[in-house]
Chains A and B, each alone.
Chain A
Amino acid sequence: METIRTDVAIIGAGGAGLRAAIALAESDPQLRIALVSKVYPMRSHTCAAEGGAAGVIKPDDSLDHHFNDTVGGGDWLCDQDAVEYLVQEAPRELIQLEHWGCPWSREANGSVAVRPFGGMKKQRTWFAADKSGFHILHTLFQTSLQFPSIERFDEYYATDLIVDDGRCQGFTAIEMRSGQMKRFHAGAVIIAGGGAGRMFPFTTNGAIKTGDGMALAYRAGVPLKDMEFVQYHPTGLPNTGTLLTEACRGEGGVLLNKNGRRFLQDYGMGPETPLGKPVLKTMELGPRDRVSQAFWHEQKKGNTIATRWGDCMLLDMRHLGEKKINERLPLVRDMSTSYLGIDPVTDPVPVRPVVHYMMGGIHTDIRAATPLAGLFAAGECACVSINGANRLGSNSLTELLVFGRRAGLSAREYVRSGPRAVNEAALVAQAAAAQARIRSLFEKTGGKESVAGVRKEMMTTMEQNAGIYRTAEGLSEACVKLSELRRRYAQVELTDKTNVYNTDLLQALELGSMLDCAEAVAASAAARKESRGAHQRLDFVDRDDVNFLRHSLAYYHAKEPPRIDYRDVVITKSQPGVRDYSGDHK
């Protein structure tokens, strides 16, 4: 097996991975950096983020406001030291992107423009029309091209971390073009592999978001934190799940039920605000968890609109006018018109809540370090946690910048803190074991299961039992089913037994990642007997700070369900309180 030797290897080349790579290259040009991704960097899912990135820049705003919005929005499950670091670093990172050429939308005087976003008390979301993530990703990718120390390994799928002497020392990866396995030998590893939304059938997430980075760390013994918190974005196109950004409402779009009522006022987010004059942090600018939950209640009451893609509410943007929609929301108009046949300029758009983001992920501290020495993580795959029980829109792009950079700097510090003894034979043996595992999957005959079949059952289970509202019964059913599916996964037989760009093998490995993540979600959700943020239990309807003001930690077991442990939330200055989205006009 070929060995690739490097100082720091990064798995994932989306926003967080690229930001980490650039931080490393800038701060220490002598370090060799391997940037490894299962796709070309510009295909990474950061490109699909639409609305923008939050950072305090305008004079009427303050770091405290951003902090308070984020901690309250997260239902006090955020680690407040991490949130302090996020809000403090955010403006610097967004200005840095500006200096690298990011085409942020501007005010008439040439300064950067900001827009309102859900759950934010002030306007602080920097945006590039409604393709903010796309521009951030391409700015980072293009900027990264000037650093000779960043060596890319595009279309390599990482399969197993290599851990010896209590340290992560690399990983194995399959080069898709040849089908050959390579061993990456690295002083430190950063995982920036993105989320796992594809374990649900209806999601805004691209095909690549299969939780591979999370599963890599999890199987190596690193706990996954707060996995029960899965964000539903309120406004997805009902047929494809395509995201219609929260900026639709930030710009003044409203949500209607089948009677034309702006129903959010009936769920603690009223009173109604004037049409086309959105008021921050209330009504349509409430947080995503509350808005998605309100939809669920309307559905139970029979107030939603039946469509052939399921029950919907209406997102009405007609009053914004064609000019504003074209200028601020061109992608939204294009998506809605082409995929659904409805032009938001002339008609309200039917939408329904859609799985969007994992608040949980690889347990990291404020330095982006995991409990495993030599292993760091950042971006959606990590849980620092700044998102707590519910992420505020436009905090994730900021998070991947701030903690992507932090992961790079921490990895550098770790690598430079001294040479460490390497037991080459042990590493080679582990790589060989990883190869044997893949080979047995590859060569197996007589298997009774297919990738598509097991995947479909997993998705159905997750949608039915781990959605917006959950019960002990449903979650226990999900746990049983997922454990069965993990067993049956061992019976998957590939149809494609060739080497070059084998997507049958790739999808089988991705399915393995998703099953592990899904089990962590279901088990953590079953254990959390309270309702908080995006985790709502019909059988435990209240938040329970006495027992559950804690992060869950799911530990992997090869044959058994995960073991769930807990860890206290870090509170620095904000004691748990009431989340109030009734605006200033009580």
Chain B
Amino acid sequence: MSQRVVELEVLRYNPETDSEPHFQRYSVSCEDEWVVLDALNRVKETIDPTLSYRWSCHMAVCGSCGMMINGEPKLGCKSFLRDYEGVIRVEPLAHFPIERDLVTVIDDFIGKLKRVKPYLIPKHEKPLTEGEYLQTPAELKKFKQYTMCINCMLCYAACPEYGLIPKFIGPAAISLAHRYNQDSRDGGRDERQEEIATTEGVWECSFTGACSEVCPEHVDPASALQQVKIKSTVDWYTEHLMPWVKK
């Protein structure tokens, strides 16, 4: 197996002992095929047990290990060392407060997610004894990509608007609201629009598309936001010009 020594420059911050964040260098022997997370694990096991970061699945599905790698929001478990040359700089996700080292405080997202009502509000109640709602593959396809969000927060770290205006509900939460709005079983769009078709909602988005570029699951939040904008524009016109028409 071929090995190489990787130079990591990791942002360190411990609120109990540090007045401000600083970088620490580690030289660590790695296998060629490893990801950045493997390198961090090697550091923690063999060099510095105090280094703190979140991780679990190592297969890009639990969403724990979002971090900035050479300035870009990435999953540590899906960022291959072979794609980097020279020193690799690892920092906590941008736009979130640092709890410690690479661990960020994500309370803001957790609160926003709850606000957008990301759960099915059934169009028609159906008792369980009557079986499943029918949903064709075409109907499923309308929202399936938006269900793939792993809540990894890379899109928030990439979003210039969120960096400037923290009240912005942001890409992942709006995409998840949109996911339910697009679901043929759902009838809760009006309730969700109250949260997302607002200034703090989609209208804060300036459509840079950065969220979609960094999304590791190809959710394409930017398209969700634009669709919500269009729908809410149609809603506005319908409401003001044709008040007799039901949405």
Residue positions of A touching B, CB distance < 8 A: 39-40, 42-45, 47-48, 92, 95-96, 98-101, 103-106, 108-112, 131, 134-135, 138, 142-143, 145-146, 154, 177, 206-208, 239-240, 242-243, 308, 331, 334-335, 338-339, 341, 450-452, 494-496, 498-504, 507
Contact = CB atoms under 8 A, between A and B. Distances in A.
Contacts of A138: 147, 149
B144 A103 contact: yes
A109 B131 CA distance: 14
B231 interface: no
Given A103-B140, A142-B176, A239-B33, A206 B49 contact: no
B120 A101 contact: yes
Contacts of B54: 39, 43
Nearest to B100: A501
A242 B105 CA distance: 29
Contacts of B55: 207
Given A101-B186, A106-B136, 20 more contacts: A42-B62, A43-B56, A48-B57, A100-B120, A101-B120, A101-B180, A101-B185, A103-B147, A105-B137, A105-B140, A109-B134, A145-B117, A146-B117, A177-B105, A206-B62, A308-B1, A495-B49, A496-B50, A500-B100, A501-B103
Contacts of A499: 16
B58 A242 contact: yes
A101 B44 CA distance: 40
Nearest to B136: A110
Given A45-B62, A92-B128, A494-B49, A40 B110 contact: yes
Contacts of B56: 39, 43, 45, 206-208
Contacts of A146: 117, 119
A107 to B, nearest CB: 8
B212 interface: no
Interface string B120-133: 10100010100111
A103 B137 CA distance: 10
Nearest to B113: A145
B147 A98 contact: no
29 contacts: A42-B150, A43-B54, A43-B62, A92-B128, A98-B132, A99-B120, A103-B140, A103-B143, A103-B144, A105-B137, A106-B136, A108-B136, A108-B137, A110-B136, A131-B148, A142-B119, A145-B114, A207-B57, A243-B59, A334-B60, A452-B44, A494-B49, A498-B17, A499-B16, A501-B52, A501-B100, A501-B103, A502-B52, A503-B52
Contact of A106 (B140, B149, B151): B140
B128 A95 contact: yes
Nearest to B16: A498
Residue among B15, B50, B57, B143 with most chain A CB within 10 A? B57
B137 A106 contact: yes
B99 to A, nearest CB: 6
A95 B131 CA distance: 6
Contacts of B132: 95, 98-99, 104, 111-112
A310 B174 CA distance: 45
A338 B78 contact: yes
Contacts of A142: 113, 118-119, 176
A135 B15 CA distance: 36
Interface residues of B, number: 65
B92 to A, nearest CB: 11
A99 B128 contact: yes
B187 to A, nearest CB: 12
A109 B136 CA distance: 6
B62 A143 contact: no
Given A99-B120, A338-B78, A500-B15, A452 B62 contact: no
Q: Which of A96, A109, A240 has the most CB of B within 10 A?
A: A240
Nearest to B149: A138
Contacts of B117: 145-146
Nearest to A456: B45
Interface in B47-72: 48-64
B139 interface: yes
A500 B99 contact: yes
A210 to B, nearest CB: 11
A98 B133 CA distance: 7
Q: 8 smallest A-B Cβ distances: which pairs? A: A110-B134, A101-B120, A206-B56, A496-B50, A206-B57, A452-B45, A495-B49, A501-B100
A545 B131 CA distance: 41
B91 interface: no
B232 interface: no
A143 B84 CA distance: 40
B136 A335 contact: no
B14 interface: yes
Given A42-B62, A42-B63, A99-B122, A450 B57 contact: no
Contact of A134 (B49, B61, B144): B61
Contacts of B59: 48, 240, 242-243, 335
A144 B232 CA distance: 27
Nearest to B14: A498
A542 to B, nearest CB: 38
B140 A495 contact: no
B227 interface: no
A45 B61 CA distance: 9
Nearest to A103: B147
A274 B147 CA distance: 36
B19 interface: no
A94 to B, nearest CB: 8
Contact of B57 (A45, A341, A504): A45
B135 A110 contact: yes
Contacts of A98: 132-133
Nearest to B127: A99
A42 B176 CA distance: 14
A110 B105 CA distance: 41
A502 B44 CA distance: 12
A452 B50 contact: no
A45 B64 CA distance: 11
B128 A96 contact: yes
A106 B135 contact: yes
Interface in B167-210: 176, 180, 183, 185-186
B165 to A, nearest CB: 24
Contacts of A452: 44-46, 49
B16 A145 contact: no
B172 to A, nearest CB: 11
A207 B38 CA distance: 12
Count chain A CB atoms within 10 A of each CB in B16, B33, B56, B106 and give the residue with the most: B56
Contacts of B131: 95
B57 A47 contact: yes
A111 B59 CA distance: 30
Contacts of B149: 138
A261 to B, nearest CB: 29
A259 B75 CA distance: 39
Nearest to A100: B120
A522 to B, nearest CB: 24
Contacts of A92: 128
A66 B147 CA distance: 30
A39 B63 CA distance: 11
Given A92-B128, A111-B134, A500 B14 contact: yes
A498 B144 CA distance: 44
A504 B17 CA distance: 16
